[in-house]
Chain A
């Protein structure tokens, strides 16, 4: 099985080799990179605080599709050419992503049609939460057993039980926690990528990460007393609902939407700019030649190119649907986007 470092180096393609060689890494100093990160963070926080609805509508419209495509490319890049002992891990990962996304979509459909009623919905969400936790624990176990060092994975069992318990006690809160925690995972991926390919930037990046809680604290302090956002129109209603209004009582919807859109903006920025730049494919991420599975003699270059092309077509289709009916498309997108939230889990485990 390839180590995380090997996979990272392969995944970064030629750009990473250049970066390690030193020639390509010097095009921006760590200070310039850090300063850019701080500017992005401050600008995102300011825009999210001042115009949360507008920023949410604009960022989801513009970046939701492309960032999924960027994640798809990143994950394809990290797939080993030969599965070897990891076959079971990837089979379980794929089955979980498909099954849980399908179940999540069915839950959304059921909720809209009112089939279950309030308490049936409560139980269904609790079951889905438990299934998701069991899947993650299963992945940790499979991954832990294939690794030679340590048996630390067994600690995933009590942690998983505790999470499943919380998933039953506050089912909707658990799902909302996923919504807010998911953007932070991207920050971890970027950290790992920087450690692999641009070590010089890593310290500056971590210093910027320390500013994230400060920015959140400032937003919460300033917006704690803010009047709730006006829910005039379908779009505003969707934005407020996706941020958790109705689930978190006695918290201003302005504060909720601001926090959500701030984290989402950082998430999009990381996947669309940060990770490709760090991996050395920032200028031409669509080129399949830098993907190991396309370059390897036992790889599948046609399949990879077809996947990337299909992803691009899906992005165009999403934009067209947004133009046709933004509110409905946003609902559908946030339901199906659970797939990319889940897809991050196995790749996250492989980087640890």
Chain B
């Protein structure tokens, strides 16, 4: 009886404290990241800087696939209402099929007259299914990618050797390719459109 009272008091305390603490803002964990830090959490892409003869203005080309990834990383939902409903319809259909698979497997197991022999093959299948389940949970929970990959800037470090380079660009989303491209006109143009060396 004494233990029950202690537990009841503890439960009451927790019930009262939980909403109170829920109002407290989380501590600000955003701190400046040092430049030397490797940001494995950011999307990875390849970029080239090309000098293009005859181009009238600088252009940054972002492949649509990269843009979708960047949107997803930034938490921006892609598409309109119709596209979202189509995608969720696909998820529902997929879920129904997988549920059917589980139900049918259960029915077949129940109806099976033979005893199921839990041999090595069954153990391997169960292990694979568990591994796939864990991987799926990790993927859908947006677990960060494994930290095995170093980003190599390649020859991009030669693009800027001294003072920063600056200028206006047009940003273009392209359907083809997977790498980001910065196209730079081979020759500068004056306000009248004449080419300058």
A154 to B105, CA, bound (A): 10
CB of A120 within 8 A of CB of B177, answer no
Tell me whether A158 and B145 are in contact (CB under 8 A): no
Give A254 to B148 CA distance when docked, in angstroms: 15
Report the count of interface residues on A (CB-CB < 8 A): 39
Interface residues of B in 85-110 (CB under 8 A from A): 86-87, 89-91, 93-98, 100-102, 104-105, 108
Taking CB as reference atom, which chain A residue is nearest B106?
Answer: A158
Is A95 at the interface (CB under 8 A from chain B)?
Answer: no
User: How many angstroms between the C-alpha atoms of A46 and B109 in the bound complex?
Assistant: 46
Interface residues of A in 154-190 (CB under 8 A from B): 154-155, 157-162, 164-169, 171
Q: Is A320 an interface residue (CB 8 A)?
A: no
Cβ–Cβ < 8 Å partners of B90 in chain A:
122-123, 126, 168-169, 171
Q: Is the CB of A158 within 8 A of B176?
A: no
Judge if B69 is at the interface, Cβ distance under 8 Å: yes
User: Chain B 29-67 against A: per-residue CB contact (8 Å), 1 yes, 0 no?
Assistant: 000000000000001101010000000000000010100
Which chain B residues in 150-196 approach chain A with CB under 8 Å? 150, 152, 154, 176-179
Query: Which chain B residues lie closer than 8 Å to A288 at the CB level?
Result: none
Question: Does B28 lie at the interface of the complex (its beta carbon under 8 Å from any beta carbon of A)?
Answer: no
Report whether B104 and A161 are in contact in the complex, using a CB–CB cutoff of 8 Å.
yes
| B178/A227 in contact, CB under 8 A | no
Alpha-carbon separation in the docked complex, A139 to B65 (Å): 36
Chain B nearest CB, measured from A224 CB (Å)? 5
Tell me which of A82-90, A195-203, A245-253 binds B: A245-253
Q: Does A118 contact B (CB under 8 A)?
A: yes
Interface of A is mostly: helix
* B101→A250 contact, CB < 8 A: no
Q: Are B69 and A249 in contact (CB under 8 A)?
A: yes
Q: From residue 207 to 234 of chain A, which have CB atoms closer than 8 A to chain B?
A: 224-225, 227-228, 230-232
Cα distance A224–B145 when bound, in Å? Answer: 13
Partner of A119, one of B44, B86, B179: B86
A79 at the interface (CB under 8 A from B): no
B residues near A253, Cβ cutoff 8 Å:
46, 178
Interface string of B13-31 (1 = CB under 8 A from A): 0000000000000000000
A132 to chain B, nearest CB (A): 13
Q: Are A158 and B101 in contact (CB under 8 A)?
A: yes
Within 8 Å by CB of A158, from B63, B108, B149, lies B108
Cβ contacts A261-283/B at 8 Å (1 or 0 each): 00000000000000000000000
Give Cα A159 to B102, complex, Å. Answer: 9
Q: Does A41 contact B (CB under 8 A)?
A: no
Contact flag A168-B104 (CB < 8 Å), given A240-B178, A246-B178, A250-B44 = no
Whether A158 and B148, one on each chain, are in contact in the complex, defined by CB atoms closer than 8 angstroms, is no
Does chain B have a CB within 8 A of A105? no
With A161-B101, A168-B94: A154-B108 Cβ-Cβ less than 8 Å: yes
Residue of A nearest to B91 (CB): A169
- In the complex, the answer to whether B97 meets A168 with C-beta atoms within 8 Å is yes
Instruction: Identify the closest chain B residue to A252 (Cβ).
Output: B149
A165 touches B101 (CB 8 A): yes
Question: Is residue A107 within 8 Å, beta carbon to beta carbon, of the partner chain?
Answer: no
Q: Which 7 A-B pairs have the closest CB atoms?
A: A168-B94, A165-B97, A165-B98, A161-B101, A162-B101, A119-B83, A169-B94
Known: A168-B93, A250-B43. 7 other contacts (CB 8 A): A119-B86, A157-B108, A159-B101, A165-B93, A169-B90, A227-B46, A250-B145
A-B contacts, 30 of them at CB < 8 A, read A117-B83, A119-B86, A122-B86, A122-B90, A123-B86, A126-B94, A154-B108, A158-B108, A159-B101, A161-B100, A162-B97, A164-B94, A165-B98, A165-B100, A169-B94, A169-B95, A224-B148, A225-B152, A227-B46, A227-B154, A228-B179, A231-B46, A231-B177, A231-B179, A237-B176, A246-B65, A250-B43, A250-B145, A250-B149, A253-B178
